[in-house]
Structures are given as C-alpha cells and as structure tokens.
Amino acid sequence: MISVKSLDISAKDYHELRVMIRAIPQDPYASQIVPFILENELDSIVFRLAQAPGIKEMYLGKNDSITSEFRAYEKLKELATEKELNELLVHNSPIVKVYAYRALLVNEMNMDYDVQSSLLLDTTCLEWYMNNIPISITVGELIQIPFQE
C-alpha cells in the first residue's frame, strides 16, 4: 500500500528554504555576480563571463557605470591562481579566454607560451563593446589591443 501525503508550504517558507541552501542570494537586490552558487566562487565567475554578450570595458553607457562583466573580471583576477588562469585560456568561451589572458598579464603571471601563440592565431569572433557599441573582432586581434585597467 502506498500512501501519498501532500505538503503545503508558504511562499515565505519556500523562499527561506532556498536562501538557507544557498540556491538564491539572501538579498535579491544586492549586487551579485550570479544569483546561484556553482561548485565554487571561481566557477560562478567563469559561468557569468561565459554567458556575457561580449567583452565589456570598465565603464559603459551614458552614466559611465561599471559593467557587471568588468566586476566579474576583477574577481577573476583576484581569486584565480596562475594555473587556473592558464587552464581558462583554452576554455570554450572566447570571452573567458580573453579575460583570463588579461588577468594573467595584469597579475604579471607566467603564461603557457604554446597557448599564448594559439590565442594570437585564434579567429573566433566575439563582440567588444566600446562606448556601448559592439564591434565584431577576433580573439587574436583583441588580445593584441592594449587595454586600460
């Protein structure tokens, strides 16, 4: 004999349960890189960058607000080790590759020479946002352009 019981749960209790298991942030209005936690914080940052529409510099828009992509890049620079950044140079996302490349340069870390050479020849296209206008550019071209920190 199988017995099925129904359970009623209020929206408030459901919300508190989701906050408790870290499925959602405690404060939905707080600035978050991503609203859910992956395996660790670095994975969350990489996921956020991989979902980005393109490479965005620090300030974009009429009010020169700092972009969420740039905030994620700042966290990537801060958290990732040299080994992790070198591994990200061969990520599926061209956006992650470019941000990892930049992080290695800015942090003055050693870069895998073979991977660096292949990035210079990478013809994968992506969007680079300059003054809120997307420009189609290849990974190889973009990593050769000096960027402002």
The pLDDT value given to residue 35 = 47
92-104: per-residue pLDDT in tens?
999 999 999 999 9
Residue 108 vs residue 57, higher pLDDT: 108
The pLDDT value given to residue 125 = 93
For the chain, the 3-state helix, strand and coil shares in percent, each to the nearest 5, are: 45, 10, 45
Lowest mean pLDDT: which of 5-9, 27-31, 124-128?
Answer: 27-31
The pLDDT value given to residue 142 = 92
Residue 115 vs residue 63, higher pLDDT: 115
Q: What are the residue ranges spanned by the domains of the chain? A: 39-142
Q: How many CA atoms lie within 13 A of 1 on its CB side?
A: 1
Q: Are strands 59-60 and 65-66 parallel, antiparallel or unpaired?
A: antiparallel
Q: Is the pLDDT of residue 60 over 80?
A: no
Mean pLDDT of 136-142: 93
Q: Is the pLDDT of residue 14 over 70?
A: no
Nearest to 85 by CA among 109, 54, 119, 67: 109
Rounded mean pLDDT of the chain? 79
Mean pLDDT of 3-15: 62
The pLDDT value given to residue 146 = 78
The pLDDT value given to residue 27 = 60
Can you count the helices (H) and strands (E) in the chain? 7, 5
Q: Is the pLDDT of residue 113 over 50?
A: yes
Residue 1 vs residue 58, higher pLDDT: 58
